[in-house]
Amino acid sequence: MNEPFFKIDSLYRLPWNLADNGITWLEPTSQCNLNCYGCYRKNVKNSHKPLDEVKRELDFFQANRKTDCISIAGGDPLLYPNIVELVADIKSRGLKPIINTNGIALTPELLHRLKEAGVFGFTFHIDSQQGKGRDPKWAGKNEVELNELRLYYAEMLAKEGGISCSFNSTVYENTIQYVPELVEWAQKHIDIVQTMVFIIFRYVTPKLPYRFFAGDQEVFKEEIHYHSDKDEKTNIMAPDVVMKIREKYPDFQPAAFLNGTSRPDYYKWLLTERFGNKDHIFGYAGRRFMEIVMNGYHFKHDRYLSYASPKTASIGKSALFGLAPFDKGARKALSNYWKYLGGNPFRIFKKVYNQTIMIIQPVDFLENGDQSMCDGCPDITYWKDENGNERLVWSCRLEELMQYGEFLHTVPAKSQEISAEEAVNIMEGTK
Ligand code: SF4
């Protein structure tokens, strides 16, 4: 038996589930102004949904799922003509509107209008595999060189003030080497960057040893939207990213996780909360810290916390003092903080910040053909089938529903001779 990477009692299992979650995912459009290599969504021009339809999706969410924030995604939501009204509508429902964007369409003027409408935060997706669409000066830049672009957006948000700032980037075999430097860059800007998210690349590739079926109909890999003809590595795991970060931050220690639907020892969402300032990282929150924060927030607001505001993230000192008696990680960080003050007591006037580093490991194909998803998926979205039935579905696999009306099943391709009938038997467990 393989030992899990983390001892089960060293991490807090985030309490998120289908009906009660920190996040819910909304897609008002599938149109985008980039063509990112690892994107799960087909870029469809003029695919903006009428605002009333989007509001009905929000009604459905609110009737079926407690949520703290609505991640407005797509496509690029800044291309959605009614984005300002949509943000205002979400805010009026008492939810936090978060815009997930590549940033291209964001101007200081639009940002100001979105702030007035009640936007809570932005998550900018910036990485080196995003294809054409940005200013050509960014073409061919690696992840570290793109920090200049990240800083441009972080400073734009900071200037407007009071808006949470996060960055996403996809982690590929040839870009995992840059992750530690991105984490270091985030520390350098800990006063204006609240969250860094690393999403590990997953795609259907030629050597993936599975066959895909929609019902009893075989679907060839090349037909699946998120397939690549390149033989990419698609099994980088969250602990690989942790090990990489530890090359620069040896104490780097996640506090909470979501497991896989078929594998409790897979860390699908791995959340790390660190305390520090630009000079120094004092330490990492432990599982009790996360448990107290999640449950305290739920007790007060009847839903689980997702994003923290820049103001909350800047009171790391209070969080350290307040929670150190209950949490080993916070205690250790506090002891490092005292040592830091010992070097120069005037440092007490410097702020201490919280910063979140998240690693996301999307779908894993298991040997028996199971697809292990994130258990308690936060990025759940809305789907209405051809009979008008509405349900909550994984946003990363929405394209399958659009293309085939159902999620694809995978069957291990042990033998290329397997018939469609045999595949169905395997899927139904009759063989
Ligand atoms: S299951 Fe898919 S949509 Fe849900 S959180 Fe995981 S990667 Fe995101």
Distance separating alpha carbons of residues 422 and 369, to the nearest angstrom: 14
Kindly report the protein residue whose alpha carbon is nearest to atom 5 of ligand 1: 377
pLDDT computed for residue 107 by the predictor: 98
Ligand 1: centre distance to CA 356 (Å): 18
Give the separation between CA 229 and CA 158, rounded to whole angstroms: 41
Average pLDDT, the chain: 94
Ligand 1 midpoint to CA 66 (Å): 18
Check pLDDT > 70 for residue 416.
no
Q: Is the CB of 396 under 6 A from ligand 1?
A: yes
pLDDT tens by residue, 256-266: 999 999 999 99
> Does residue 399's CB lie within 6 angstroms of at least one atom of ligand 1?
no
Please state, in angstroms and rounded to a whole number, the distance separating the CA atoms of residues 141 and 145: 6
Is the shortest distance between the CB of 379 and ligand 1 below 6 Å?
A: yes
What tokens were used for 164? 């949470």
- Which three-class secondary structure state does DSSP give residue 321? helix
What's the farthest any 2 CA atoms get from each other in the chain?
Answer: 74
- Ligand 1 centroid vs 349 CA: distance in angstroms? 41
Count other C-beta atoms under 10 Å from residue 271's C-beta.
22
Strand positions, DSSP E, 102-162: 121-125
Q: Which of 24, 271, 373 to mutate to test the pocket of ligand 1 (most atoms within 8 A of CB)?
A: 373
394 lines ligand 1 (CB under 6 A): yes
Average pLDDT over residues 266-281: 97
pLDDT of residue 426: 53
Q: How far is the CA of 263 from the centre of ligand 1 (A)?
A: 15
Q: What pLDDT is attached to residue 419?
A: 55
Residue 251 confidence (pLDDT) above 70:
yes
Q: Return the residue whose CA atom lies nearest to atom 8 of ligand 1.
A: 379
DSSP states along 248-311: T-TT----EEE-BSS-TT--SEEEEEEEE-SS-EEEE--HHHHHHHHHHHHHHHSS---PPPHH
Residue 431 has a pLDDT of: 43
Query: Please, what is the Cα angle at 96 between 94 and 97, to 5 degrees?
Result: 120
Strand-pair category, 23-26 with 281-284: unpaired
pLDDT at 168: 95
Q: How much of the chain exceeds pLDDT 90, in percent?
A: 90
Place of tokens 């590739």: 205
Measure 374 CA to ligand 1 centroid, in angstroms: 6
Task: Supply the pLDDT for residue 176.
Answer: 97
Q: Which CATH architecture has domain 8-427?
A: Alpha-Beta Horseshoe (3.80)
**Residue 239 to residue 5: CA distance in whole angstroms:** 7
* Predicted pLDDT at 3: 84
Vertex 242 angle, CA 148 and 230, to 5°: 70
8, 52 contact by CB (below 8 A): no
**How far, in Å, is the centroid of ligand 1 from the Cα of 189?**
28
Q: What is the pLDDT of residues 186-205, one digit of tens each?
A: 999 999 999 999 999 999 99
The residue whose CB lies within 8 Å of the most ligand 1 atoms, and thus the one to mutate among 21, 359, 374, 381, is 374
Q: Is the CB of 38 under 6 A from ligand 1?
A: no
The pLDDT of residue 296 is above 70? yes
C-beta of residue 208 within 8 angstroms of C-beta of residue 228: no
Rounded to two decimals, the pTM is 0.94
Which pLDDT does position 421 carry in this prediction?
61
Q: Both tokens of residue 5? A: 């990477």
Task: List pLDDT tens digits, range 10-27.
Answer: 999 999 999 999 999 999
Residue percentage of the chain with pLDDT more than 70: 96
CB-based contact 375:268 (threshold 8 Å): yes
Q: How far is the CA of 371 from the centre of ligand 1 (A)?
A: 12
Q: Poorest-confidence range of 84-88, 309-313, 418-422? A: 418-422
At 372, is the secondary structure helix, strand, or coil? strand
Cβ of 305 below 6 Å from ligand 1:
no
Q: Is 374 in the pocket of ligand 1 (CB under 6 A)?
A: yes
Q: Does the CB atom of residue 99 touch ligand 1 within 6 A?
A: no
Q: Within 13 Å and on the Cβ side, how many CA atoms surround 136?
A: 0
At residue 422, does pLDDT exceed 90?
A: no
What's the 279 CA to ligand 1 centre distance in angstroms? 34
Q: Give distance in angstroms: CA of 375 to centre of ligand 1.
A: 9
Measured distance between the N- and C-terminal CA atoms of the chain, rounded to whole angstroms: 26
Q: Cα(321)–Cα(304) distance, rounded to whole angstroms?
A: 23
Which residue's CA lies nearest to atom 4 of ligand 1? 377
Q: Is 362 in the pocket of ligand 1 (CB under 6 A)?
A: yes
**Cα 361 to averaged position of ligand 1 atoms, centre (Å):** 8
Q: Which of 395, 399, 401, 407 to mutate to test the pocket of ligand 1 (most atoms within 8 A of CB)?
A: 395
Structure tokens at 27: 């897609």
Written as one string, the DSSP assignment of 195-232 is EEEEEE---B-TT--EEEEETTEEE-GGGSTTB-SS--
Strand 371-372 to strand 23-26: parallel, antiparallel, or no bridges (unpaired)? unpaired
pLDDT tens string 377-397: 999 999 999 999 999 999 999
- Which of the 8 DSSP states describes residue 322? H
Name 416's Cβ contacts closer than 8 Å, sequence gap at least 6.
none
CB of 175 sitting under 6 A from ligand 1: no
Q: How many helices and strands in the chain, by DSSP H and E? A: 12, 18
Strand order of the β-sheet with 210-214 is: 217-219, 210-214, 409-412
What are the beta bridge partners of residue 70?
24, 97
User: DSSP character for 20?
Assistant: B
Ligand 1 atom with the shortest distance to the CA of 202: 7
Closest CA to 163 of 99, 83, 239, 238: 99
pLDDT at 1: 61
What value does the CA radius of gyration of the chain take, rounded to a whole number of Å? Answer: 22
Q: What is the pLDDT of residues 107-153, one digit of tens each?
A: 999 999 999 999 999 999 999 998 788 999 999 999 999 999 999 99
Give the C-alpha separation, 344 to 338, whole Å: 10
